[in-house]
């Protein structure tokens, strides 16, 4: 017999006939088993992908080291299946990671300029009435257009787009060290 939950919830099918109750027992067990198998498969997939990403990144840096025009999309073929591996120009940078990478490269390294702090202004307009808020936004909009600035969010750090190609002037070992600080994303698609 299945275990009962620790809640005071009534049994949904208590008043059902025996055949329905038997089918429900089998269905509940099958659902729970399928969920367990799905979780196990997802965990195994996660582990396999992590191992593959490590191998793919190493091959990517080796393949592109000193390349005049680095490649960012490759095919990988197994015994019976193939996947496309893409290394997109996407990095999640924050101040700590920027400082660590600049320290790793050295402040005078040509690639250090690719890690940039962006100052963004945030303004709390809650003390303004609706008309003042509209006027403020109009003035702010004119000011941002004059300086060719974009919207207001928060302080953030960005990686210049050129870094993704320029990093191939570094050795695979340095790229691996950078990847421990600022992991490069890998997308794998079946083909």
For the record, the structure tokens of 82 come out as 């193939």
pLDDT of 116: 78
**SS3 per-residue string spanning the chain:** CCCCCCCCCCCCCCCCCHHHHHHHHHHHHHHHHHHHHHHHHHHHHHHHHHHHHHHHHHHHHHHHCCCCCCCCEEEEECCCCEEEEECCCCCCCCHHHHHHHHHHHCCCCHHHHHEEEECCCCCCCCCCCHHHHHHHHHHHHHHHHHCCCCCCCCCEEEECCCHHHHHHHCCHHHHHHHHHHCCCCCEEEEC
pLDDT of 153: 41
Instruction: Give phi and psi for 73, each to the nearest 5.
Output: -130, 130
For the record, the structure tokens of 93 come out as 């940078």
Averages of pLDDT over runs of 10 residues in the chain (191 residues) are 61 80 87 96 96 94 90 94 93 90 93 82 82 86 78 64 90 92 89 76
pLDDT of 7: 62
pLDDT of 124: 81
Helix (H, G, I), strand (E, B) or coil at 96: helix
**Number of alpha helices (DSSP H) and beta strands (DSSP E) in the chain:** 5, 5
- Angular region, 51: left φ>0, alpha ψ -120 to 50, beta rest: alpha
pLDDT of 6: 66
pLDDT of 11: 73
pLDDT of 97: 92
pLDDT of 154: 46
pLDDT of 20: 86
End-to-end CA distance of the chain: 46
pLDDT of 150: 67
Helix (H, G, I), strand (E, B) or coil at 176: helix
């Amino acid at each position: 017999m299945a275990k009962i939950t620790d809640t005071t919830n009534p049994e949904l099918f208590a008043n059902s006939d025996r055949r329905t109750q038997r089918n429900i027992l089998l269905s509940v067990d099958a659902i729970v088993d399928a969920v367990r198998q799905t979780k196990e498969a997802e965990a195994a997939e996660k582990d396999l992908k992590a191992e593959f990403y490590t191998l793919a990144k190493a091959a990517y840096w080796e393949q592109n080291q000193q390349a005049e025009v680095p490649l960012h999309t490759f095919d990988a073929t197994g015994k019976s299946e193939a996947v496309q591996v893409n290394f997109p120009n996407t990095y999640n940078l924050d101040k700590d990671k920027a400082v660590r990478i600049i320290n790793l490269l050295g402040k005078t390294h040509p690639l250090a300029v690719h890690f940039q702090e962006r100052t963004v202004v945030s303004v709390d307009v809650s003390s303004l009435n609706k008309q003042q808020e509209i006027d403020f936004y109009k003035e702010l909009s004119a000011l941002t257009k004059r300086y060719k600035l974009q919207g207001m969010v928060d302080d953030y750090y960005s990686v210049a787009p050129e870094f993704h190609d320029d990093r191939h002037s570094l050795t695979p070992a340095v790229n691996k060290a950078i990847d421990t600080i600022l992991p490069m994303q890998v997308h794998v698609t079946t083909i």
